[in-house]
């Protein structure tokens, strides 16, 4: 079976895909289908320019890097940093700017219960990348797949990592525009993303010589993210919200790009809540009526005429409901623009990543500390809860025994003679 590579005949010649390459090809993304560009990523201006010169330029103009043996772009780049900082977006933007085919490696696709099948799928990743070159092999959450090898791991896992390392050294890297195996012969680059770079195997890090730390955005970067997100969403924004954005950028210290997008989403929902407040209240408070039908076949036969009448009434009611729905659709409510008040409310509701769990852990630690201090105070007084309970039980038993003992001793009221 002859298949054509991504991007049309102008990019790659017609070639044949193996059965393993067809499985990997399901996750291939054409650069024309990627909508993310460097301009869509707020902040990281210096990092974006350096990444563009290092990753995009060799894929766009490999002839520049063939003029000298020193001009070799790295075969791999690692993007690391906290979650939600845009590492995956950067990888897609690189593929978009360079016009490179994007191959996203999924662990679920390459893991197979049969020994040796995973190795063949990994081989298919690199062979397909060469056929569709220029291309980018993207591995998200790199630490979960290529973590350090140790003796505790099974032989199958080590064999998969060894296959990956071997093929990685054999691919046509971005700095060497040699002929690929049965394909386009263009450059191939490997991009990795992780938030735990210390959990990646050292042999993998050696093949990822350039590391870029994608940090949390500063105030300037947060303002860019907020502005770009609102502009791309085409959501109506009030003048008060536009003026409040710089102050919001200063207040959202520690927020990642995904946190800021969630904050804007929460602010946009405030207008929806105002319009649908009564309906949502009825939806959660009112109990729905459940209709049950009972009867036997004899009753159905006897009341057939009655049911026909009911069906006609139901049809009439359904028609009326449809007409009412049309009228309601014609009178759909128009959402008001986002205001500064919406952003302030969203600021209270949406916290930065990990803030809620950190506050909960802190409150739990305070409660434990209070319990410990209370126990220490009771211990310092020399009174234990169990001991106090035992003393109370003992005093109650003594009070019950004292009257009986008095009657036993005072049975004879006479004074003994001397």
Which DSSP string do the residues of 2-59 spell out, in sequence order?
EE--TT-TTTS--EE--HHHHHHHTTEE-GGG----GGGS-S-HHHHHHHIIIIIHHH
As annotated, the residues of the chain forming the CATH 1.10.8.60 domain(s) are 216-281+327-351
- Span 162-184, pLDDT tens digits: 888 888 876 644 444 444 444 45
Measured torsion, CA atoms of residues 90, 93, 98, 99, in degrees rounded to the nearest 10: 140
Whether the bond into 246 is cis, omega within 30 of 0: no
First to last CA, the chain: 132
- Span 110-160, pLDDT tens digits: 887 787 788 888 889 999 998 888 889 999 988 887 888 776 556 667 778
Give the C-alpha separation, 397 to 100, whole Å: 89
pLDDT of residue 263 exceeding 90:
yes
- Please state the rounded mean pLDDT for residues 279-284: 73
As annotated, the residues of the chain forming the CATH 3.40.50.300 domain(s) are 2-213
Q: Does pTM top 0.95 for this prediction?
A: no
Q: Is the dihedral of CA 49, 50, 51, 54 positive or negative?
A: positive
Predicted pLDDT of residue 237: 92
Ramachandran sector of residue 130 (left: φ over 0; alpha: ψ -120 to 50; beta: rest): alpha
How high does pLDDT run on average in the chain?
76
Give the C-alpha separation, 20 to 187, whole Å: 22
Q: Is the dihedral of CA 350, 352, 354, 357 positive or negative?
A: negative
- CB 149, CB 156: distance < 8 Å: no
- CB 97, CB 230: distance < 8 Å: no
> What architecture is domain 216-281+327-351?
Orthogonal Bundle (1.10)
Q: Where are the beta strands (DSSP E) in 195-350?
A: 210-213
| Comparison of pLDDT for 128 and 354, the residue scoring more | 128
Contacts of residue 216, defined as CB under 8 A and 6 or more positions apart, other chains included, come to 81, 82, 85, 254, 255, 256
Instruction: Tell me the fold of 2-213.
Output: Rossmann fold (3.40.50)
Please state, for a pLDDT cut of 90, what percent of the chain lies above it.
19
Q: Residue 155: is it exposed, middle or buried by C-beta count within 10 angstroms (0-12/13-18/19+)?
A: exposed
Please state, for a pLDDT cut of 70, what percent of the chain lies above it.
67
Give the C-alpha separation, 137 to 55, whole Å: 12
User: Residue 379 — very low, low, confident or very high, per pLDDT cuts 50/70/90?
Assistant: low
User: Residue 193 — very low, low, confident or very high, per pLDDT cuts 50/70/90?
Assistant: very high
Give the C-alpha separation, 387 to 55, whole Å: 73
Which of 53-56's residues contact partners 24+ apart within 8 Å by CB, and which partners? 54/210, 55/94, 55/98, 55/174, 55/189, 55/191, 56/94, 56/97, 56/98
- Span 20-67, pLDDT tens digits: 888 888 889 888 889 888 888 888 888 888 888 888 888 788 788 778
């Amino acid at each position: 079976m002859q298949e054509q590579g991504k991007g049309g005949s102008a990019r790659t010649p017609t070639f044949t895909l193996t059965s393993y390459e067809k499985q990997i090809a399901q996750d291939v993304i054409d650069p024309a289908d990627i909508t993310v560009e460097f301009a869509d990523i707020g902040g990281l201006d210096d990092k974006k320019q350096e990444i563009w010169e290092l990753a995009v330029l060799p894929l766009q103009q490999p002839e520049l890097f063939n003029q000298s043996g020193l001009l070799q772009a790295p075969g791999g780049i690692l993007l690391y940093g906290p979650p939600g900082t845009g590492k995956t977006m950067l990888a897609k933007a690189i593929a978009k700017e360079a016009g490179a085919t994007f191959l996203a490696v999924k662990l679920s696709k390459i893991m197979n219960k049969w020994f040796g099948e995973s190795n063949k799928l990994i081989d298919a990743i690199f062979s397909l990348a060469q056929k569709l070159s220029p291309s980018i092999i993207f591995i998200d959450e790199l630490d979960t797949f290529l973590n350090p090898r140790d003796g505790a791991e099974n032989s199958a896992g080590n064999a998969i990592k060894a296959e990956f390392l071997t093929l990685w050294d054999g691919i046509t890297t971005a700095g060497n525009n040699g002929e690929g195996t049965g394909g386009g012969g263009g450059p191939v680059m490997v991009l990795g993303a992780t938030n735990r770079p210390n959990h990646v195997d050292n042999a993998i890090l050696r093949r990822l010589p350039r590391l870029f730390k994608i940090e949390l955005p500063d105030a300037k970067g947060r303002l860019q993210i907020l502005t770009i997100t609102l502009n791309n969403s085409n959501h109506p924004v009030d003048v008060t919200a536009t003026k409040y954005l710089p102050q919001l950028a200063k207040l959202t210290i520690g927020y990642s790009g995904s946190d800021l997008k969630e904050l804007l989403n929460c602010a946009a929902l405030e207008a929806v809540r105002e319009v649908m407040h009564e309906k949502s209240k009825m939806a959660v408070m009112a109990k729905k009526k459940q209709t049950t039908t009972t009867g036997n076949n004899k009753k159905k036969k006897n009341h057939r005429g009655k049911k026909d009448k009911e069906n006609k009434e139901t049809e009439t009611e359904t028609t009326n409901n449809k007409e009412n729905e049309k009228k309601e659709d014609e009178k759909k409510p128009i959402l008001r623009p986002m205001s500064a008040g919406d952003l302030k409310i969203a600021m209270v509701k949406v916290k930065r990543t990990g803030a809620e769990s950190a506050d909960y852990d802190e409150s739990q630690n305070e409660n434990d500390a209070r319990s410990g201090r209370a126990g220490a105070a009771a211990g310092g007084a020399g009174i234990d809860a169990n001991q106090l309970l035992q003393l109370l039980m003992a005093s109650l038993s003594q009070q019950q025994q004292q009257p009986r003992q008095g009657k036993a001793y005072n049975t004879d009221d006479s004074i003994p003679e001397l």
